[in-house]
C-alpha cells in the first residue's frame, strides 16, 4: 500500500482547529487575531513547511458541523484567509490579513525578491463538500478587481474540486478583469518549491498571475488552466512537487468525505436519543 502524503498529524491538527473554531466564543476580531497568532506559532515550530501544507491541503472544505451563516462559519472563512497569508510568507513574500469585513480584499501582500517588485490582494474561498453549484458570484472576481486599487494583481485561492471545469463566466471575468484563480493545490506546490529552491516561488507566483493578461476573453476553462498548469511543470523539481500535491488533493477528498460521514453518524445518534416530544 502506498504511503500517504497527508500525515496523521495533519489530520489531527485539522480536528483540533475545527474544535477550536466551533468552541471559541470571543468576538470576531479577537477570534481572527487568535487564529493568525496560532498559525504563526505553528509556522515557527520548525523549519519544515509541513504544518502550513497540512492546512492548505485540507482547509478548502467547510466542516458540516459548522452551522451555515454562523459566527463560526465567518471565523472559518477568516482562518482560510490566514492560511493563505502564512503560505505566501512561506513562499518568501510579505503578506498580512486585513481586519475589515466588507468591501475589500482579505489579504494584501508584496514581493521584494525580484528586480521588478510587485504587490497584490488575495481572497481565500472555502465551500462545503456537499455544495455542487458553482455560482460566479461566490468567487467575487469582479469585486476583487475593484479592490486591487493601485495594486498590480488580484487573485482568489479556492479548492480545485469546486471550480467549473468546462465553461463559466468566471473565466470571462478572469481575462477581462485581469484577476486570477489559483487552487490550494497550486499554493501548496509553491510552498514546497520554495523549501526545495529558495527565493524562486515569488517569481513563479508572478508568472502565474501574469496569465490572464495574455489570454483572449473566453468562458472556457481549458485555455486558462492549460496555461497555468503548464507553468507548474516547467522544471523537473516543480513538476515532481506538483504531481505529489495533486495526489494529496485526491487524498484530502477521501479524508474530508469521511469527516462529513462521521458528522452525519453523530447527528443520527443524537436525534435517535431524543424523546418523542
Cα dihedral 183/18/87/205 (nearest 10): 10
The whole-number pLDDT of residue 66 equals: 92
pLDDT over threshold 80, residue 219: yes
Model pLDDT for residues 54-99, shown as the tens digit of each residue: 999 999 999 999 999 899 999 999 999 999 999 999 999 999 998 7
Cα–Cα distance, 228 to 186 (Å, whole number) = 9
Model pLDDT for residues 114-133, shown as the tens digit of each residue: 666 899 999 999 999 887 76
- Alpha carbon 139 to chain centroid distance? 12
Does this model's pTM top 0.85? My answer is yes
The whole-number pLDDT of residue 134 equals: 67
For the segment 190-217, the average pLDDT, to the nearest whole number, is 93
Q: Which of 29-43, 166-180, 221-235 has the highest mean pLDDT?
A: 221-235
Q: Which of 43-47, 134-138, 169-173, 189-193 has the highest mean pLDDT?
A: 189-193
Q: Are 163 and 174 in contact (CB under 8 A)?
A: no
For the segment 251-273, the average pLDDT, to the nearest whole number, is 90
Q: What is the largest CA-CA distance in the chain?
A: 70
Find residue 127's DSSP bridge partners: 61
Q: Are 153 and 180 in contact (CB under 8 A)?
A: yes
The whole-number pLDDT of residue 203 equals: 92
Nearest to 23 by CA among 94, 58, 71: 71
Model pLDDT for residues 249-261, shown as the tens digit of each residue: 999 999 999 999 9
For the segment 234-243, the average pLDDT, to the nearest whole number, is 95
Can you say whether the dihedral through the CA atoms of 38, 40, 45, 51 is positive or negative?
positive
For the segment 235-258, the average pLDDT, to the nearest whole number, is 95
Q: Are 72 and 22 in contact (CB under 8 A)?
A: yes
Listed in sequence order, the residues at least 6 apart from 45 whose beta carbon sits closer than 8 Å to its beta carbon are 51
Range in 32-46, 128-142, 167-181 with the lowest mean pLDDT: 128-142
C-alpha distance from residue 63 to each of 14, 70, 111, 128, 258 (Å) = 10, 12, 33, 7, 11
Cα–Cα distance, 126 to 77 (Å, whole number) = 7
Amino acid at each position: 500500500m502506498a504511503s500517504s502524503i497527508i500525515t496523521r498529524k495533519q489530520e489531527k491538527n485539522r480536528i483540533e482547529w475545527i474544535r477550536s473554531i466551533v468552541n471559541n466564543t470571543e468576538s470576531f476580531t479577537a477570534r481572527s487575531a487568535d487564529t493568525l497568532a496560532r498559525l504563526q506559532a505553528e509556522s515557527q515550530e520548525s523549519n519544515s513547511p509541513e504544518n502550513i501544507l497540512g492546512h492548505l491541503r485540507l482547509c478548502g472544505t467547510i466542516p458540516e458541523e459548522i452551522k451555515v451563516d454562523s459566527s463560526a462559519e465567518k471565523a472559518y472563512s477568516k482562518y482560510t484567509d490566514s492560511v493563505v497569508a502564512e503560505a505566501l510568507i512561506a513562499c518568501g513574500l510579505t503578506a498580512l490579513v486585513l481586519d475589515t469585513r466588507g468591501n475589500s480584499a482579505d489579504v494584501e501582500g508584496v514581493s521584494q525578491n525580484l528586480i521588478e517588485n510587485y504587490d497584490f490582494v488575495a481572497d481565500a474561498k472555502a465551500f462545503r463538500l456537499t455544495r455542487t453549484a458553482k455560482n460566479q458570484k461566490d468567487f467575487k472576481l469582479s469585486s476583487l478587481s475593484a479592490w486591487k486599487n493601485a495594486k498590480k494583481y488580484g487573485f482568489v485561492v479556492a479548492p480545485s474540486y469546486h471550480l467549473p471545469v468546462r465553461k463559466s463566466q468566471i473565466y470571462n471575468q478572469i481575462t477581462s478583469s485581469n484577476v486570477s484563480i489559483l487552487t490550494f493545490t497550486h499554493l501548496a506546490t509553491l510552498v514546497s518549491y520554495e523549501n526545495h529552491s529558495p527565493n524562486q516561488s515569488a517569481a513563479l507566483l508572478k508568472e502565474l498571475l501574469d496569465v490572464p493578461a495574455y489570454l483572449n476573453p473566453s468562458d472556457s476553462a481549458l485555455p486558462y488552466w492549460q496555461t497555468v498548469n503548464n507553468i507548474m511543470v516547467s522544471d523537473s523539481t516543480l513538476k515532481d512537487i506538483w504531481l505529489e500535491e495533486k495526489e494529496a488533493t485526491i487524498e484530502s477528498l477521501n479524508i474530508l468525505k469521511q469527516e462529513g460521514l462521521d458528522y452525519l453518524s453523530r447527528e443520527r445518534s443524537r436525534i435517535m436519543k431524543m424523546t418523542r416530544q
